[in-house]
Structure 1
Amino acid sequence: MHISILALFYLIFTEVSGLKIAGDTATIEYTPEAVAIKDYFQGSATITNGGIPNLFSDTSVDLASNAETQALRNFASHKNLRVIYTVCEVYYRIVANKKAGSGIASLKDLKGKKIGTTQGTSAAYFVQKYLATVGLRESDYTVVSGSTCNSAPCGSGTFPYMLAHGTVDAVGMWEPTVELSAQALGANAMIFQDRSVYREVFNLHTTAEKLKDATTRKNIVAYIRGLNQAEEAFRDTPDKVFSRVASTLNMNVTLLKTVWPIHSFNGTLAADLLDVMVEEDAWVAKTDRRSTISRADLAMMIDGSVLKEALQI
């Protein structure tokens, strides 16, 4: 009887605690994770605001989502980090103020200008990579930090406000901040985008230790199966999730629909992820003042076995 009671308490605790996921809850990218929990995952799970660092600061966190840039930054000191699923891919844009006298008529004209973005992130990497296509180096412009915004009116300190008030000349970020920045400028907005240059690869991560634990791995596999179903809804029947996503992010549905085509929900592990990581790590290493990580080591970070198990019926 004593053993049975202990077993019962264990089962109850396991069910109540469930999976704990850390993600940036202010982004469109993370929202399939939330829908998966509510609609498709048959276990229990919670999402807390955060990201990959939470995997190492809080052992109760089982999964974490972030762009590939943050994976590279964290893998440098945590070789047990594993990428197991690509939640979303986003084709970033830059919006510039082409008002009379600005001198901005092309991407190259951003030389000497102030560009709003968040340093050390996928957005900052995108800005430098995109501007490099027209011969600009990072020393040719000034990066100015600010805050994102999901709904107008955007307050002081946000990138849309800063662009509209002349604190910066352009903004390169994830959505809907760029779209809101463009709307704040109206007819003076000039948008630059080249999908061949860069896309954010927003992934779900865990640790090698979590995957070695049989119970945790089983739960993660089941969650990935549910997440894959959510991805199908986002990709094939977005009208069914627009209002929920907008409500989750305190965003206008019309705004969400405007930026939706910039996002891809493919329900897979990006096939070229290793190549992306190898190329991008040169910039991350320089930014973080460390040595680059070898291709062989980066390959260890990518674990496709969880998705493979999830797809097996």
Structure 2
Amino acid sequence: MYSLQHQVLPVVVILSVLWTQYATALRIAGAFSVIEYNPLLIASQDYYKGTAQVVNGGVANLFGNSDIDLAGNAETQALRQYATHKNLRVIYTVVEVAYRIVASKKAGISSLADLKGKKIGTVPSTSAAYFVQRYLASAGGLRDSDYTTVSGGNCNTAPCGAGTLPYMLVHGSIDAVGMWEPTLELAIEGLGSDAVVFQNKSVYREVYNLYTTTDKLKNASTRKDIVAYLRALDQTAQLFTNHSETVIPRVAKTMNMNEAVLKAVWPVHDWKGGLAPDLFDVLVPEDQWVAKVDRRSGISQADLKTMIDSSVLEEARASPSTM
């Protein structure tokens, strides 16, 4: 007959194992409202062999009293954090997105120059707002004072309600929208034949990266987990690039999106993964804009170079997984 001690011991062991797994799990933050975070989720579900939890958030969650190890965000928000947190590091490019502007022909718009004097809907202080400014300056020859930006909300599923950018465009309170997807696609569909679309990814495309901190990377155990997670992201990149037919239904369900809409915007997303080779060149002019918006001094080019850490990805690709 087993004693009480023999009966309790297995339970204690099981609880100890479960607690150890939870305590050492990677915690990854990404905004659940954007398509871009989905590789982070699927990598944790399909390919990462450790324990990982993806929570709603972004790069700001890496700081303060936080147990977040990794975070996904557009480069604009990372620059905002890096100004005061020089221990932030970019370690992987999850996806690059060629933003677009859609305008209404009814507003007399057929070229970018026609946006002079118009109201353009976007989300202030984000990659979308930077895209509008940079695109219109570089390709349209327009100064900031030549048009008015109007704040509005994103929309992932039609019908888009009042206050969202597609609704505002269709109902004429703004003349154009510059935004990430699927808000832009839904705005196009809302206008129908009255839509005119502008796009030039050589001027700007969102670079949605994965970030961590030097503190996390200096911890041998955490770094090992992060390296393994980057291998999982590489596998996920192949899935998103070469087998979109299997991924789109999953992402659509996660985002509560229409599959046809997601399929329509899939081509403006580059899921190849890795680390954008021109990331430094992207960050330099972008920080000048963020610094102006945030009313701070610009970050030195030396510091911007330090922000990019390619060693983690190099480590992930140089050695096989041991997990």
**TM bucket, shorter chain:** over 0.9
2:95 corresponding residue in structure 1: 88
Tell whether 2:252 aligns with 1:246: yes
Flag structure 1 segments of 5+ consecutive residues without an equivalent.
none
- Tell me the distance in 2 between the aligned counterparts of 1:154 and 1:176: 11
> How far did 1:7 drift?
10
2:58 pairs with 1:51: yes
In structure 2, the partner of 1:123 is: 128
Q: Aligned pair in 2 of structure 1 residues 80, 9: CA closer, same or farther (>3 Å)?
A: farther
Letter in 2 for 1:291: S
- CA gap 1:111/1:218 in 2 versus in 1, 3 angstroms: same
Root mean square deviation of aligned Cα: 1.6
CA distance in 2, matches of 1:12, 1:241: 31
List aligned pairs for 1:137-216, cutoff 5 A. 137-216=143-222
Counterpart residue number, 2:305: 299
Q: TM-score, normalised by structure 1?
A: 0.95
Is residue 21 of structure 1 aligned with residue 59 of structure 2? no
Are 2:37 and 1:30 equivalent residues in the alignment?
yes
Seen in structure 2, the aligned counterparts of structure 1 residues 71 and 10 have a Cα distance that, compared at 3 Å, is: farther
**TM-score normalised per structure 2:** 0.92
Q: Deviations over 1:223-246 (max 9, x none)?
A: 111111011100111111110010
AA matched with 2:86 = K
2:6 — aligned with what? none
Secondary structure in structure 2 of the residue aligned to 1:309: helix
How far did 1:292 drift? 1.0
Aligned length: 307
Query: After the TM superposition, which parts of structure 1 deviate over 2 Å for at least 4 consecutive aligned residues?
Result: 5-14
Alignment partners' CA distance in 2, 1:176 and 1:106:
23
Match of 1:63 among 67, 70, 91: 70
The CA deviation at 1:14 is 3.4
Cα drift, residue 9 of structure 1: 7.0
Structure 2: gaps (5+ residues): 1-10
> AA paired with 2:307?
M
Greater C-alpha Rg: 2
Letter in 1 for 2:135: Y
